[in-house]
Structure 1
Amino acid sequence: MAQAKIVVAEHDKVVTEVNDIFDEISLSVGKMIDNIKNISEKSSVMSDKKEEMVEILQNLSASTEESSAATEQVSASAQQQLAGMEEVFTKTEELYELAERLQQEIDKFSIE
Structure 2
Amino acid sequence: MWIYIARRLLWLPFLLLAVSLVTFAMGRIVPGDPVQVMLGARYEPDSQVTKNLEAQFGLDKPFAVQYVNYVWDALHGDFGESYRYRGRAVGPLLAQKMWVSFRINIAAMILTVG
TM-score > 0.5, shorter chain as reference: no
TM-score, scaled relative to structure 1: 0.26
Higher normalized contact order (CA 8 Å, seq sep 6+, divided by chain length): 2
Structure with the higher fraction of residues in helix conformation: 1
Structure 1 or 2, whichever has the larger Rg, is 1
TM-score, scaled relative to structure 2: 0.26
